[in-house]
A = this chain, B = another copy of it.
Amino acid sequence: MLVVMKNDATEEQVRAVIREIEKMGYRGVPMPGAQRTAVCIIGNKGPVEAARLLAMEGVKEAIPVTKPYKLVSRETHPDSTVITIGGVKIGGGEPVIMAGPCAVESEEQALTIARFVKEHGALVFRAGAFKPRTSPYSFQGMGKEGLKVLAKVRSETGLLIVTEATDSDNLAVVNEYADIIQIGARNMQNYSLLRLAGHLKKPVLLKRGFAATIDEWLMAAEYIMSEGNHRVILCERGIRTFSDNTRNTLDLAAIPSIKEASHLPIIVDPSHAAGRRDYVIPLSRGAIAVGADGLLVEVHHDPAHALSDGMQSLYLPQFEELMRELGRLKLFL
């Protein structure tokens, strides 16, 4: 950390800062500049709590140099993590397609869609049994009955199941039924839920909060990993900006950012980013071309009668078209 002094700071104030740094157990080295002095902190093993230094007379600001996360960091773990579930490898080079409806609505609905996406190359079935909805009056999901439907989908199709846990109550039951536990954007900083997920053995799909920086997102993954569960898959799903052409602005630069900062795999959800089905195919192509390890895509055989998020669900023939395009794209990559 670099402690920058005000340009009218006295020598005594600089000395006081150095003494305080020494009390913290580090060394402080003064760096006189043209307009002001800065003090470098040396000897720290991790982040330094800046508050007490910032509170001192003559201190202007404190500039951190080291990132606050450890377990997620590529610096401490240079090789990319590959998460293997059943025979499926996430992060292993070949993009993995996870597809399905926003919510489980019935066994027939789930099986119809699952068979179709399986046939066209998806390896994981996505569908929510517990739905976080902005309005308390909207459909909240089928709950445990929905999970039973998902178990049936798995046994009938062989697809892996990813589904969301929205609180500590349903986390346990989701853990029983799912192959991958999804934690949604709204819960990205629900630290209690993250810690509990960190005690489980199943991989966690952690969506980026819609106003989270890359560092905050990685810190959320660090919560899970710090409890012992190292199998975290990150999922970019768009961030909130002023731009109104899509529901959220898909930040595909998050892919190289995550790849640089972390060893964890990252997939992309173009459906929630776009909020409209006609942009899902081009954004999917873009995500794979940039280097995503997979996609999470909404598909519905009858979006007009979907109980949630029908606007952004691909029609079945559109999913087929998506997989055809990705098939050709994979040849290139």
Task: Decide yes or no whether A246 CB sits under 8 A from chain B.
Answer: yes
Nearest B residue to A60 via CB reads B65
- Candidates B46, B135, B249, B282; contact of A256 at CB < 8 Å: B282
- Candidates B36, B166, B209, B249; contact of A66 at CB < 8 Å: B36
Which of A89-97, A142-150, A152-160, A186-194 participates in binding chain B? A186-194
Task: Decide yes or no whether A132 CB sits under 8 A from chain B.
Answer: yes
Task: Decide yes or no whether A320 CB sits under 8 A from chain B.
Answer: no
> Cα distance A271–B92 when bound, in Å?
28
Q: A54-B311, A328-B332 are in contact. Are A245 and B252 (CB under 8 A)?
A: no
Task: Decide yes or no whether A265 CB sits under 8 A from chain B.
Answer: no
Q: A55-B304, A66-B33 are in contact. Are A249 and B251 (CB under 8 A)?
A: yes
Task: Decide yes or no whether A213 CB sits under 8 A from chain B.
Answer: yes
Q: Closest Cβ of chain B: how far from A105's Cβ, in Å? A: 12
Nearest B residue to A55 via CB reads B304
Task: Decide yes or no whether A278 CB sits under 8 A from chain B.
Answer: yes
Categorize the interface residue count of chain A.
Answer: 35 or more
Q: Are B211 and A35 in contact (CB under 8 A)?
A: no
Bits for A259-303, please: 1 = Cβ < 8 Å to B, else 0: 010000000000001100011001101111111000000000001
Which of A37-45, A107-115, A118-126, A174-182 participates in binding chain B? A37-45
> Cα distance A324–B192 when bound, in Å?
40
Q: Closest Cβ of chain B: how far from A26's Cβ, in Å? A: 9
> Cα distance A50–B309 when bound, in Å?
10
Most B C-beta atoms less than 10 A away, residue of A68, A136, A195: A136
> Cα distance A223–B231 when bound, in Å?
33
> Cα distance A50–B244 when bound, in Å?
18
> Cα distance A131–B123 when bound, in Å?
39
Q: A213-B242, A246-B253, A254-B245 are in contact. Are A42 and B32 (CB under 8 A)?
A: yes
> Cα distance A38–B137 when bound, in Å?
25
Q: Are B310 and A54 in contact (CB under 8 A)?
A: yes
Q: Closest Cβ of chain B: how far from A28's Cβ, in Å? A: 11
Contacts of A104 in B (CB 8 A): none
Contacts of A50 in B (CB 8 A): 311
Contacts of A7 in B (CB 8 A): 75
> Cα distance A309–B332 when bound, in Å?
31
Q: Closest Cβ of chain B: how far from A294's Cβ, in Å? A: 15
Q: Closest Cβ of chain B: how far from A285's Cβ, in Å? A: 4
- Candidates B249, B290, B303; contact of A285 at CB < 8 Å: B290
> Cα distance A9–B51 when bound, in Å?
30
Q: Are A56 and B282 in contact (CB under 8 A)?
A: no
> Cα distance A219–B137 when bound, in Å?
10
Q: Closest Cβ of chain B: how far from A238's Cβ, in Å? A: 9
In the complex, the 9 A-B pairs of residues with the closest C-beta atoms, listed nearest first: A51-B310, A211-B211, A55-B304, A167-B192, A289-B289, A186-B189, A286-B290, A245-B257, A52-B304
List 19 A-B pairs, Cβ < 8 Å: A2-B38, A33-B42, A33-B44, A33-B65, A54-B310, A56-B304, A135-B219, A136-B223, A168-B169, A169-B192, A239-B241, A239-B242, A245-B253, A252-B283, A253-B274, A253-B279, A282-B289, A289-B289, A289-B329
